[in-house]
Structure 1
Amino acid sequence: MAYNLLKGKKGLIFGALNEQSIAWKVAERAVEEGAEIVLTNTAVSIRMGTIGRLAEKCRTIVVPADATSVADLENLMDRTMEHFGGKFDFMLHSIGMSPNVRKGRTYDDLDYDYLSKTLDISAISFHKAIQVARKKDAINDWGSIVALSYIAAQRTLYGYNDMADAKALLESIARSFGYIYGREKHVRINTVSQSPTQTTAGSGVLGLGDLMSFAENMSPLGNASAEDCADYVLTLFSDLTRKVTMQNLYHDGGFSSMGMSRRAMKTYEKGMRFDDVHQNQYPFGKEETK
């Protein structure tokens, strides 16, 4: 159901790759709610993905841009304003990638060149995009900027690796720039800490399936889907949240406020009983009993 939440608004969306992408869902819902959008991703992602089909559906353009390149971002802002005939109202940063994760490097054995790329792509690109938009005065007063984050920015989650550091930096950038942009232009900047979600980028995280299952059992409302996240992000683009800024907003079915749920505890107890039986059967391990 559409509510015309974004009627008359215009926005720029980073990171849609394919139908699994949260950015893809946000783009679809933004148009359904009355917005006009411009899509952007790297040239290689545009070739690998199906963003062209999304552009056709949303009746818009795709502007190739490497979000780590200030020159590319300057061209992107110019072309976006040219397409809209002026400033726009909202921007979504849905970008994240870790070469260390892709290469299977663990957190205690990081490649530091890879780490630099992780931070640049997943967090510093957010700073660059905001800085370029501000210098070009590309976003209307009372506009909204949102980036997607994850609870690993605050808590240690096995397998999330150096992406946790990137998300922590991402949230810090939202707070620091939120003060500056809010004071000057009333532009609000927030991050949304989403449930673990089966996206192309997320699938590279070690043990994602187990993590999603654990979060589902822990959360009283269950995991939030990509579609759910899109609905939530739209409220942050709308005029209903004009005084919400510099916040990291959890959208995770209640996971972030839980200690231990009954379902998770039962699963834990079953695992402990299995371990006890296994230990009694093979006190010295299977190999030593042969």
Structure 2
Amino acid sequence: MDFLKLTGKTVLVFGVANRKSVAWHIARTLEEEGARVLYSVRSEARRQSLAALLAGRSVYVCDVEQEGAVDRLAAAIAADGHASLHGIAHSIAFANYAGGFRPFHETGRADFLQATAVSAFSLVEIARAFRPHLAPAASVVTIGISSLLVTPDNYGYMGPVKAALESAARFLAKSFAADPKTRDVRFNVVGAGPLKTSASAGIPGYIESYLYAEKLTFRKRNLSTQEVADAAVWLLSERSSGMNGATLTIDAGLGSNYFDEEIIRLAMRPEIKK
């Protein structure tokens, strides 16, 4: 039974870096559901490193930080006969933590603008470039974070950047809906809780934050990357046709469990053993 109705659909996936990537889990699940997946990776070196993983698949190179790169990608994909895309998965983010953690007020202009261009504005450029190539009811999904209200010290300026990404998705949904030709194209966000990915490993102090977040989930077990991918694939399917300009939070209850008894005990009376 083809419940998601993805068989024969063509979906472009941005952001595969390795087997741990959210983008890879999304792409693999799409393929399992019968979709044809096109891959866009950051660089030629990345394409070479993924040669075995993506063998036999259509892989394109697009560094979204470079002006005009997304337009060239859209032209190349159309020239290869993929004139109609049924979905786009945007799973791209970058922050320069090479200099180590700094207080938010010391964020450098270049770092903030680079992170915004790659992680948020790229969604706008992708939407604009691929607009002529989207099927009438295409779905665009991006990967955000589960809460924009929290202020983790070690996430720094990526919090505001992810807020820009989520806002951009809503504005794109409205902008496309204003044109009868693209009225049914949808833009949604998967707001994911902490994940164990290669990208997250580069965040200072992430392991401690990840383990702390796990204690706050209802089930005392953090999300798997596959759970986030499953939500994204559902949003990419027509079964989610009523979702537009929305953020679907996937956090295993993390955002609703701040006053968990165990966490309070550990914070206030750590010497007491249960």
In structure 2, distance between residues paired with 1:227 and 1:269: 35
Higher deviation after alignment, 237-246 or 196-205: 196-205
Match of 2:198 in 1: 200
Q: Which residue of 95, 103, 109 maps to 2:99?
A: 103
Report if the CA contact (8 A) 1:190-1:245 is conserved: yes
Q: CA deviation at 1:154?
A: 2.5
Cα-Cα RMSD: 2.0
- Specify the code of the residue in structure 2 equivalent to 1:156: T
| Structure 1 spans left out of the alignment, 5+ residues | 275-290
Q: Which structure carries more relative contact order (alpha carbon 8 Å, separation 6+)?
A: 2
Aligned residues: 267
Q: CA deviation at 1:44?
A: 5.4
Report if the CA contact (8 A) 2:137-2:185 is conserved: yes
Match of 1:254 in 2: 253
Match of 1:146 in 2: 141
Q: CA deviation at 1:55?
A: 2.0
What's the % identity of the aligned pairs?
A: 23
In structure 2, distance between residues paired with 1:169 and 1:267: 35
- Specify the code of the residue in structure 2 equivalent to 1:80: I
Match of 2:176 in 1: 181
- Specify the code of the residue in structure 2 equivalent to 1:74: D
Match of 2:154 in 1: 159
Structure with greater Cα Rg: 1
Instruction: List per-residue Cα deviations over 1:129-181 (Å, max 9, x = no partner).
Output: 112112xx111111111111113533211210111111000001001011112
Q: Which has more helix, going by share of residues? A: 1
Instruction: List per-residue Cα deviations over 1:175-216 (Å, max 9, x = no partner).
Output: 101111234311110111111112121111122111111111
In structure 1, distance between residues paired with 2:146 and 2:159: 8
Report if the CA contact (8 A) 1:5-1:235 is conserved: no
Q: Which residue of 124, 129, 132 maps to 1:132?
A: 129
Higher deviation after alignment, 9-18 or 77-86: 77-86
Report if the CA contact (8 A) 1:152-1:164 is conserved: no
In structure 2, distance between residues paired with 1:266 and 1:2: 48
Instruction: List per-residue Cα deviations over 1:7-35 (Å, max 9, x = no partner).
Output: 12111111000011010111111100010
Matched, 1:172 2:173: no
Cα distance change of structure 1 residues 102 and 45 upon mapping to structure 2, 3 Å threshold: farther
| Structure 2 spans left out of the alignment, 5+ residues | none
Q: CA deviation at 1:70?
A: 4.2
Give the TM-score taking structure 1 as reference length: 0.85
Report if the CA contact (8 A) 2:22-2:91 is conserved: yes
Report if the CA contact (8 A) 1:215-1:223 is conserved: yes
In structure 2, distance between residues paired with 1:163 and 1:16: 20
Give the TM-score taking structure 2 as reference length: 0.90
Cα distance change of structure 1 residues 140 and 261 upon mapping to structure 2, 3 Å threshold: same
Matches within 5 A, 1:1-290: 5-43=5-43, 46=46, 50-56=49-55, 59-99=56-96, 101-106=97-102, 107-134=104-131, 137-151=132-146, 153-184=148-179, 185=182, 186-221=184-219, 222-271=221-270, 273=271
